[in-house]
Amino acid sequence: MSALRLSALRLSALLLTAACVGTGFPSAAADAPRSEPRPPASAALLDAMRRDLGLTPAAARERLADEWRAARTERAARKAAGAAYGGAWFDAGRGRLTVAVTERRAATDVRDTGADVRLVEHSAAHLDAAKGRLDKLKAPPGVASWRVDHRANRVVVDVVNAHRADDDVSAFLRRARATAPVQVDSVPQAPRTYAAGTVGGDPYYTGNVRCSIGFSVHGGFVTAGHCGRAGAAVRGWDGSDMGTFQGSSFPGDDYAYVSIGHGWWTVPVVLGWGAIPDRLVRGSAEAPVGSSICRSGSTTKWHCGQLLAKNETVNYSDGTVVHQLTKTSVCAQGGDSGGSFISGDQAQGVTSGGWGNCTSGGETWFQPVNEILQRYGLRLHTA
């Protein structure tokens, strides 16, 4: 079957079932008040959240509604806090968004947006600047990543357990503490990227590397930069010519833009791989830390987890460093690189790398999609 025909069949099936597919962002549900619409959730999405997050259907529906409200509240609260903004995070247990502020006078305005408030020492701008100074340091292999943690009100540095006592790790931590308010945590493994050798599935290929499509944009798709360099030819799942890498950035960043032709076209779809119906993409509103999030990739298909942190710098095991990644508890494996991270019906980013696998578990990072769209002047293909 041709790629064109397969895409048409997928899109037709998706449109026929669109009414019962959970979308995660504004769409009224029958049991919700008119002023507070609830995002619908398909049975398959609820099953994925049960499998990966341990939630009952009722709890999953409630969480999706809480996350939808939190995403709206975060935007209003950030504006209300102004320079006193110290970050925000979603508490899944309480179903509430907490916003940190550095000044008591900002607390009332933030509470008026519907958020809880915590008074902290450092503003988000101060912590971002401190992390920026760490980004200029050369990290040894035993340092896995570092990020701003708004809940801790610190820059958190993750160190691989087996290398915690290494001299070069200790030296890095001394330099880090001299330039930023630092907290040190441990992780079991060093992260790595998720490209893989050529195998079967529903991927795309460049050379002998298999990766996964992220999101359709008008004219092509976005994916991970480590999957191919600008000018590299791309083949589709069936081995036919598909397109060309028009732009690619790795390391430092991990994103790329592939233009397509040869009879291929784009659709605003993320594959559910039979675990759930294929998902329509309706936008790219950024979900807050603490939200549930799902990933689609050509190796491990569909998995869900939690958004753990934003703007994290990752030091991959081969020595490459990537900035401004978002950390999740979703598993992934080789060949999943470039694949879609989505929250409800909102595109979040493309898979970069991680540690662990989908048997024993692990953590995975993605490059936020809005940064990629802005970098290449692209327009997300939405339903």
Name the residues annotated as catalytic: 226, 254, 337
CA dihedral 346, 351, 356, 360 (to 10 degrees): 40
CA distance 158 to 183: 9
Sign of CA dihedral 138, 143, 149, 152: negative
Tokens of 172: 């890095």
Q: Quote the Cα angle for 290-227-379, to 5°.
A: 65
Tokens of 54: 């341990």
Give the closest residue to 233 by CA, choosing from 258, 216, 215. 258
Residue with tokens 């925000």: 88
Query: Cis before residue 368, ω within 30 degrees of 0?
Result: no
Amino acid at 343: S
CA distance 370 to 341: 12
- Ramachandran angles phi, psi of 8, nearest 5°: -65, -40
How far from 286 is each of 28, 184, 214, 342, CA to CA, in Å? 20, 27, 16, 10
User: β-strands 292-297, 301-315: how paired?
Assistant: antiparallel
